[in-house]
Structure 1
Amino acid sequence: MSIRVVIADDNALIREGLVRVLERGGVTVSGVATSADDLVGLARAYRPDVVVTDIHMPPGEGRDGMWAALELRRTNPEIGVVVLSQHLEPEFAHDLVADGTTRVGYLLKEKIAEPGLLVDAVRGVAAGGSVLDPDVVAGLMSRGRVTGPLAGLTTREREVLALMAEGRSNTGIAESLYVTVPAVERHVTGIFTKLKLQRAGAGQHRRVLAVLAYLQAA
């Protein structure tokens, strides 16, 4: 299935690089924007599967790219959003997932040159998942606040939950922690139980709720 994206960045070299990386990965670039206003207009006109945007964009040169992403999530929730940041800004990750962690991604620009990373993130978001840069997750964890139901999680369960926030599958988590998939499944079940998500619906939905709880408390 072909994935269509609209990209936005005010730097011509980065725009060209994004187009090249995505097209080489089999993703169709439907439009290219140079400002936050253009991004919103193109996204509404082309109805892409995902938009990829820098946080800091004209016309205000502040966080207008993030504003555009939040506006699209509010008015067109069927469009996935991947935001790119030059620096680690965990508070923007909080803003992005404030209304849920489905179809959303947050990546550091320095990582998008890695083969396949951006393409995998776009595909994951288009499929309804969440993809957070590991350094963003680490930044959230470094705040050291473990409150509410999260305080009842074991160290291993918090590690598993952090990897879930990065968009890892149970298999991916097992490979990262050098444990078996059944062991990860037991930890995930423990997380759901302690966060009182036993009856929250399908497994993927519970993962989203667990990640949201983690990000909001980090």
Structure 2
Amino acid sequence: MRILICEDSVLLREGLVRLLEDAGHEVVAALPDTDGLMDAVVDTDPELCILDVRLPPTFTDEGIRAALAIRAGHPSLPLLVLSQYVEERYASDLIAAQGGALGYLLKDRVADVAEFIESVQRIASGATVLDPEVVAQLLTRRNRDERMLRLTDRERTVLALIAEGKSNGAIAALLFLSEASIEKHITAIFQKLGLEPEDGNRRVLAALAHIENTGVADAGNDYQGGVR
């Protein structure tokens, strides 16, 4: 896989290069800041971009703004954002952005090499991988979602399976329904939850609403495993 890295810490940047290359991937560029980032995306044609949230010169939101710019210009390009701490607002911005696969992980996760490499591969394959701590932060500030009351029993069942990270095909097999029927249920769920196509990552947003409403204690593990 062709990977572009944008990380200001030379130690972490070089460490990521080594980890990824040892895992058989090709690092096509490793940048210390966002200068020339968009040109590098065009020139190197990466299959995944890894960016730090806080980058020079102000170390506030340069990385997240760069990620959103990449998402706008190259919506199908998978993104993995790394952060030292949970940046709930930035995570919300990325989840709501229209685009392809997304990862948001705390930098501590890089220490578990096998888990990190697996997350990289899942994101590149189309999964959305959110750090459990990020999910927890997203849920703590939200109130009980009254939109859930609009769902039928069948729609709640489908949504619960979405929250477990199951694909449409897997849900159809479990409920003994056709994939077309599952797609209709999911469309109805999105409509009743007020999730429009431009919201992006609607499966993640819908699953978050379900987890918040039901109080599933181990939901973070499902998210870290990837919800598509």
The one-letter code of the counterpart of 1:119 is: I
Relative contact order, higher structure (CA 8 A, sep 6+): 2
Cα separation, 2, equivalents of 1:146 and 1:161: 19
Structure 1 partner of 2:189: 195
Cα separation, 2, equivalents of 1:36 and 1:151: 44
Contact 2:76 2:100 in 1 (8 A): no
The one-letter code of the counterpart of 1:192 is: I
Deviation readout 1:93-129 (Å, 9 max, x if unpaired) = 1111222363111000011111222222222222222
Q: Cα RMSD (Å) of the superposition? A: 3.4
Instruction: Say which of 77, 82, 85 aligns to 2:83.
Output: 85
Structure 1 partner of 2:10: 12
Cα separation, 1, equivalents of 2:110 and 2:78: 18
Cα separation, 1, equivalents of 2:113 and 2:54: 24
Instruction: Say which of 71, 74, 80 aligns to 1:73.
Output: 71
The change in CA–CA distance for 1:196 and 1:41 in structure 2 (over 3 A counts) is: closer
- Following superposition, the deviation at residue 159 of structure 1 comes to 6.8
Contact 1:37 1:68 in 2 (8 A): no
- Following superposition, the deviation at residue 193 of structure 1 comes to 7.6
Contact 1:5 1:48 in 2 (8 A): yes
Instruction: Say which of 189, 199, 205 aligns to 1:212.
Output: 205
Deviation readout 1:104-163 (Å, 9 max, x if unpaired) = 110000111112222222222222221111211122122242325335679998775555
Contact 1:137 1:162 in 2 (8 A): no
The one-letter code of the counterpart of 1:195 is: I
Cα separation, 2, equivalents of 1:157 and 1:86: 35
Instruction: Say which of 50, 55, 58 aligns to 2:56.
Output: 58
* Gap regions ≥5 residues in structure 2: 168-172, 192-200, 213-228
Cα separation, 1, equivalents of 2:127 and 2:89: 20
Say which SS state the counterpart of residue 97 (structure 1) adopts: helix
Instruction: Say which of 3, 27, 31 aligns to 1:29.
Output: 27
Say which SS state the counterpart of residue 85 (structure 2) adopts: coil
The one-letter code of the counterpart of 1:118 is: F
152-161 or 47-56, larger mean C-alpha shift: 152-161
* Gap regions ≥5 residues in structure 1: 171-180, 198-207
Contact 1:83 1:107 in 2 (8 A): yes
Contact 1:33 1:42 in 2 (8 A): no
TM-score if structure 2 supplies the norm length? 0.70
Cα separation, 2, equivalents of 1:77 and 1:144: 28
